[in-house]
Chains A and B, each alone.
Chain A
Amino acid sequence: MTAVELPGAVASPRPPDEDLVLDVRDLRMRYGAVDVLHGVDLTARRGEVVALLGPNGAGKTTTIEILEGFRVPSAGTVRVLGTDPARGDERWRARLGVVLQSWRDHGKWRVRELLAHLGDFYAPYATDRSPRPWPVDELLETVGLTAHAGSRVARLSGGQRRRLDVAVGIVGRPELLFLDEPTVGFDPAARREFHELVHRLADLDETTIVLTTHDLTEAEKLADRILILADGRIIAEGSPDQLARRVAGDAEVRWTRDGERYVHATADATAFLRDLLREHGDRVRELEVRRASLEDAYLALVHEEETGIRTGRAERVWQQEANR
């Protein structure tokens, strides 16, 4: 497998790690006769933003719902804040934040009223380190809803409603926050606003954030670390930079000579170019070198998933790197 092992997260026996907020090993999920997750490993440390990236149907939502304690896995070891989510009690639940995709719930409630009410449930779980809940006015300010504090929830715009969802997710000052497909249906402006909000959260209080997305750009913007999930497996893992470097693969060289077009694929573009120019010199024109980008690899992956045709191109891009 190609996943990068993290420092400190070496193979068993693993020493207990206080900083490991999330520790999942060999997670499997089967619905009837269909395997949805084939042994997913994943960890997250305190304050880290981790993106689960993958096409629809890759198993992202299933994974995150298992971590949230909303689904029970078929097999595997799952530790979220040191607890098995399937047995998580209310004290454990109080340390988590879940940002749900709201639709029309609590439509008759006023924004401030709803946040104050939901926050009340967290009051008994306050500790010296985490005063709970988040004071409503401060929270409204953080998510940019101060002007709408008195509005009815049903009257909010899509973007405002989503910010309210985030506010509900963080009203208990969670140590770990889950965001499942947070920007589906957003226009570009709302998306950017939302990204800024997530950055602000990640900077606050060392909140660990786990988000799922099928949008590579979003994962690159938000995450310290990206895990690419395809067909129930993690096929690549690393920081956006690491991943971009690892997809190198073949480069494509295009040029024209004497009015004729040429295309050549090569693993070592620099050496190829040196030879090409030495041989043909000035006759080489319109030279272009294109490296497989992270986006190419990811799009190949999405294409395979959507067409159902396994060309193996996506996995090949990752594996080439691993074999190197």
Chain B
Amino acid sequence: MNPTTNALRTGLRRGVIELRATFTNGQDLWTYFFPTVVLLVAVFWMRGSTVPGTDFSLGARTLPSALGMGLLFGGLLGLANQLVIDREDGTLLRAKAIPDGMLGYLVGKIVLVSAVALIGVVLQLTPGLFFLDGLRLGDPGAWLTLAWVVPLGLVATLPLGAVIGSLVENPRNMGLVVMPIFGLIALSGIFYPINGLPGWLQGVAQVFPLYWLGLGMRSALLPGDLAAVELGGSWRHLETVGVLGAWALLGLVLAPVVLRRMARRESGSRVAARRERAMQRVG
């Protein structure tokens, strides 16, 4: 068998095995359900509020936006976190020590992280159906839009996660990545429309993928006439594809270079040094 085909297949299996393992322990299950809980609490506090200028429930607008945010968390932070942790504990070095192991590792991670992100979308969507009115889930057009927004969102965020995960050496420094993302959440209209923000801030928000992930998900799940209260008064699908596509392209160009550089530097003594540091952290 061709080694590359074999590595792709073995990597796929790796992703499935790791995915299965996430269903069998409390910590991973909590990670699955935590965003759903947060979302439900947020929607609860928003009950009675409406999207400014409409009589549409603000909670129902928040759900799709939060799903877009979930893609960023799952794709970007999910993969980055996995890379940082796997580097520290030596998983990555193991992959490096076996033939085609890095390829298999990477395929496995992409499968795992994507699957976890998709499961997250489903878990957040389901309770929303019972509590929120106005989402057009019965409409085939909604699913058609989801079918391109979600994969495009993952392709835009996963390579960025790979780049960040390769650059951050110490798991504790992941906080430095999370903080600006929280800032971006406030800026990107996830929980409240940004029409009231100054124009330059709106401009900044629209440079980053998060705004477009939220907009894309809203365009899929909200009634068409809500487009009127978005910036520019439309769902702007073309721009969504343009900006997310640009981020995907940037990530896909950078990720292989940065990943290769990171993998090249891995060795037993580096893992041992990290272990030493982590032990001091714990002890």
Residue numbers of A with Cβ under 8 A of B are 61-62, 65, 68, 70-71, 90-91, 93-94, 96, 98, 100-106, 108-109, 113, 117-118, 120-125, 168, 172, 180
Contacts and interface: CB of A to CB of B under 8 A. Distances in A.
B25 A172 contact: no
B21 A121 contact: no
B100 A90 contact: yes
5 closest A-B pairs by beta carbon, nearest first, are A70-B267, A94-B99, A105-B91, A108-B21, A90-B99
Contact of A103 (B13, B25, B271): B271
Contacts of A93: 97-99
B89 A121 contact: no
Nearest to A98: B97
A121 B98 contact: yes
A122 B98 contact: yes
B99 A122 contact: yes
Interface of B is mostly: helix
Nearest to A62: B269
A98 B93 CA distance: 10
Nearest to A117: B14
A103 B90 contact: yes
A180 B93 CA distance: 14
Nearest to B86: A105
A124 B97 contact: no
B3 interface: yes
Contact of A70 (B14, B24, B268): B268
B3 A117 contact: no
A100 B13 contact: no
A124 B3 contact: yes
Nearest to A92: B99
B3 A61 contact: no
A118 B7 CA distance: 10
Contacts, number: 89
Nearest to B275: A103
Contact of B266 (A70, A94, A104): A70
5 contacts: A91-B99, A103-B89, A109-B21, A121-B98, A172-B98
A235 to B, nearest CB: 22
> Could you say which interface size class chain B belongs to?
20 to 34
Contacts of A105: 86, 89-91, 94
Given A117-B10, A121-B10, 9 more contacts: A104-B89, A117-B13, A117-B14, A118-B98, A120-B6, A121-B7, A121-B98, A124-B3, A124-B6
Nearest to B25: A108
B272 interface: yes
B250 interface: no
B50 to A, nearest CB: 45
Interface in B255-274: 266-269, 271-272
Interface in B1-50: 1-3, 6-7, 10, 13-14, 17-18, 21, 24-25
Contact of B96 (A70, A71, A101): A70
A181 B93 CA distance: 16
A100 B93 contact: yes
A108 B10 CA distance: 18
Contact of A180 (B24, B96, B266, B268): B268
Nearest to A133: B98
A114 B1 CA distance: 21
Most buried by A among B1, B25, B104, B269: B269
B90 A100 contact: yes
Nearest to A95: B99
A105 B96 CA distance: 14
Contacts of A100: 90, 93-94, 97, 268, 271
